[in-house]
Amino acid sequence: MRIALDVMGGDLAPKINLEGALSAKAEFPSDVQIVLVGSKTAIEQGLQELGVAIDSFEIVHAEEVIGMGEHPTKAISQKQNSSIVVGYKLLATKGVDVLCSAGNTGAMLVGAMFSIKPIEGIIRPGIAGFIPQTSGKYSILLDVGANADVKPEVLNQFAEMGSLYANYLFGTKNAKVGLVSVGEEEEKGNLVTQAAHQLIKNNKSVNFVGNLEGRDILTDKADVIICDGFTGNVILKMAESLYTIFAERDYVTPFTSLFNWKNVGGSPILGVNGNVVIGHGSSDGIAIKNMLHLAKQLVDSDITSKIQKAYS
């Protein structure tokens, strides 16, 4: 397996990306290779500073960097030699099995749409987040930001893609899928949610447990929690803030640690022709390491092929 890491992505790049790559390499089986994408000079210098031989990793040079604040579409089309675009070229040509980056989220999303493209039949890809549950596991929250406005049909596809992913992650054939709304009854919710409820309820490939209220989001009511990317982004970021809030109060437990996004590492894009993980801009070495583990797991899950087959 070959995992491409955008070494230039994130607020603390390239140093922490290299640290994370080094930690992950030590934990990975020998048949998992990390391919570092970015400025060859910066990478070699960084590795030397870490006291690591520069031939420890395969390096793919990329001259340019897309900044965190750049306009995604503009940056992707103008910076063809950026680490993100070069990374996507590797992914599109099967040079690597998965691409991960803690860089500009929008650029990562636009890059996926332009290079590997959405799977045929998928209206809109979504970004999957991991939301802690009281049982100690994570549920999948989809979408967490790719689509602020959605059609009901898009939510129905999120339910399908989320099920496929959750079935692998949780070793089940029957992952429970819930729809975020404002009441249990199917007529509750905004117009999009009400229509989506009917589609998902009648979707035989989904084990639909019905609407979830805000109070059900952290309490193991569903393995897959479906909503538009606006609501999902607000939910995920609010949950993430809890770790800091409670850590500042010296309350750190295995449960509160689930809310620490550094332990999750990133969010996969579901519904594109390739494996992609987007990390947090403020990732540190631990977050990068966990992003690489998540990337490996995404390849192991074979989720991209499964979605392609489901829509073929």
Site residues, a second copy (CB under 8 A)? 134, 145, 148-149, 180-182, 188-191, 193, 213-219, 228-231, 233-242, 245, 248-249, 251, 253, 255
Least distance (Å) from a second copy to the CB of residue 234?
Answer: 4
57 near 37, Cβ under 8 Å? no
| 145 or 162: CB nearest a second copy | 145
Only one residue has tokens 């070959």, namely: 2
| E strand segments, the chain | 2-6, 33-38, 58-61, 98-101, 126-132, 138-142, 176-180, 207-212, 224-226, 267-270, 275-278
Residue closer to a second copy by CB (options 40, 188) is 188
Nearer to a second copy, 19 or 240 (CB): 240
In angstroms, give the least distance from the CB of 217 to a second copy.
5
**Which residue, 50 or 148, has its beta carbon nearer to a second copy?**
148
- Least Å distance between CB 230 and a second copy? 5
Q: Round to whole Å and give the CA distance between 96 and 60.
A: 11
**At closest approach, how far in Å is the CB of 35 from a second copy?**
30
Do the Cβ atoms of 88 and 80 come closer than 8 Å? no
Q: Shortest Cβ distance from residue 13 to a second copy (Å)? A: 20
Tell me whether residue 63 or residue 220 sits nearer to a second copy (CB atom).
220
- Give CA–CA dist 124/136, Å, rounded: 31
* 170 or 255: CB nearest a second copy: 255
Tell the smallest beta-carbon distance from residue 216 to a second copy (Å). 8
DSSP string, 180-234: E-SSSSTT-S-HHHHHHHHHHHT-TTSEEEEEE-GGGTTTTS-SEEE--HHHHHH
User: What is the residue type of 170?
Assistant: F
3-state SS assignment for residue 290 = helix
